[in-house]
Amino acid sequence: MRTNRLLLLFTISIFLTASCQKEIETDIENKTNNQEIAVEKANTYVITTDTETLSDELKAEIEKYGKISSSLPEIGVVYIELNKTQGKKQILDIEGIESITPNYLVKFSAPAYVSDKILKINAESGGDGETEIPQHEWLQWSLDAIDAREAWAAEPSMGEGCKVFVLDTGIDAEHPDIAPNLNTSLCKSFINRESWNVREGNYFNHGTHVAGIIAAAGNDNGYGIIGVAPKAEIVAVKVLSEYNGGGSFESINNGIIYAANNGADVINMSLGGRFPDTDQYKALIKTMQRAIKYANKKGVVVIASAGNNGINADLDEGYITLPAQLKGVITVSATSPIGWMEDNNTNLDIPTSYTNYGKSIVDLAAPGGGRSYDSVLSSIPGGWTWASGTSMASPQVAGVAALIIAKNNGNISVSKVKNILYKNADKIDADKIYYGKGRVNAVKSVLNKKRNRRRNTNPRFAINN
């Protein structure tokens, strides 16, 4: 197969546990989808201008050669289906055009381990008609790892007034943990024929799980779980299919620009892909870099997962992980305890075996989880379950960023938020290539004092494969 026909693989490594309380556990529905795996769109291209702008006149000139599916004048990018292949040369001859490249679809990899159990929302009503839903906050070791509860005591705003846009596979708008904080008027899908609000049922949905880690409102309601910033506003932007995890540079870049233009304070992207850093993909890489640069200029803090390949990015010559290694992104690696349920005082800061690492990729570390109760518990359609991955670590930092922004009533720059996160991270006494500036600390970030408590960790690995 020729290189320009390769299916590009983004990686979302998701690990679920089968361990649940038996009195409230239930089987997850085994949902399958027969959609064909996405490949490069036939005759569809991404065009970049040389000025990062797009005038109406230039857009009209481009449109002579095909049907424009979307355009991003904010960053000088157009997506077009050409009328004929020879249109490529004519477009390159237009003054102001920098490049024209195939617009690849991307397929996100399936979970490496999926539980067949969930903690289910009890559908049986009591005599008063109220639905009985258990509280699971006590299972959230990740809140202890980053001192989230202490942060809420120190700063009761708890993220209120901060908008966090979750670019992912959609969200369950009816989930009792999610609904109180969800701004449905701003939620949007960039995946054809799919709503941002995911289908009904009891199953794992990546976007809902990520959103719950950021801002589940459970503690206010006395049930479910609680997010790191439980009063922050959540906006779901679907950039990946909920069925097969497929998306494209077009959907992701559109999602970034949409969030930046609609009041986002924080963008969380628990997604990523490892690409050859070659001329063939440089234009595509540049489009995403432009989108992130635009978001930063609009005052948006962009946070992403480091990836679950278990590789040292410093030694990964010839490849780039997107969006993790782009400028303007806070990239997060994953940590985990081993045997937390047996010993709640165990070390919570062990680097996981799956996390990508290296000075060239990691800015901060955060709880991403291992197996069983060492995984991260969060919301899914119809209930809750555990998952592990850098996808679960990134939203921990997004939640802390929301706490910082809310404390400052939104009047704080991107660079200042980064500085507070980095300065107040716990400096782990182990190999820094796994932790970057340190493991994020919520209370220290909210208080933003000069003191810097250090935590000692045994530099062994959590067993998460």
Task: Choose the catalytic residue: 336, 379, 391, 394.
Answer: 391
Instruction: Calculate ∠ Cα 457-460-462, nearest 5°.
Output: 100
Give the number of C-alpha atoms closer than 13 A to the C-alpha of residue 60, restricted to the C-beta side.
3
User: Can 391 be counted among the known catalytic residues?
Assistant: yes
Strand partners, 320: 275
Token pair of 124, please?
């049986």
Identify whether the C-beta of residue 375 lies closer than 8 Å to the C-beta of residue 386.
yes
Query: 3-state DSSP: the chain helix, strand, coil percent, rounded to 5?
Result: 25, 25, 45
CB under 8 A, 24+ apart: contacts of 413-416: 413/299, 414/296, 414/299, 414/300, 414/301, 414/328
Q: Which amino acid is at 403?
A: L
Phi, psi of 373 (to 5 degrees): -70, -10
Quickly tell me which residue has 């991003």 as its tokens.
72
Q: Which element (helix H / strand E) includes 70?
A: strand 66-72
User: Can 175 be counted among the known catalytic residues?
Assistant: no
**Tell me, what DSSP letter sits at residue 128?**
T
Nearest in space to 103 (alpha carbons), one of 51, 66, 73 = 66
Token pair of 273, please?
């892909």
Identify whether the C-beta of residue 105 lies closer than 8 Å to the C-beta of residue 40.
yes
Token pair of 146, please?
């980053």
User: Can 277 be counted among the known catalytic residues?
Assistant: no
Identify whether the C-beta of residue 367 lies closer than 8 Å to the C-beta of residue 332.
no
Nearest in space to 385 (alpha carbons), one of 191, 172, 235, 219 = 172
Strand partners, 343: none
Q: Categorise residue 313: left if φ over 0, alpha if ψ from -120 to 50, beta otherwise.
A: alpha
Instruction: Calculate ∠ Cα 177-181-182, nearest 5°.
Output: 100
**In Å, how far are 71, 78, 197, 227 from 396, measured between CA atoms?**
32, 34, 23, 8
Give the Cα separation of 60 and 347 in Å (integer): 60
Task: Choose the catalytic residue: 147, 168, 172, 426.
Answer: 168
Q: Which amino acid is at 27?
A: D
C-alpha 156, offset from chain centre: 25
Active site residue ranges: 168, 206, 391
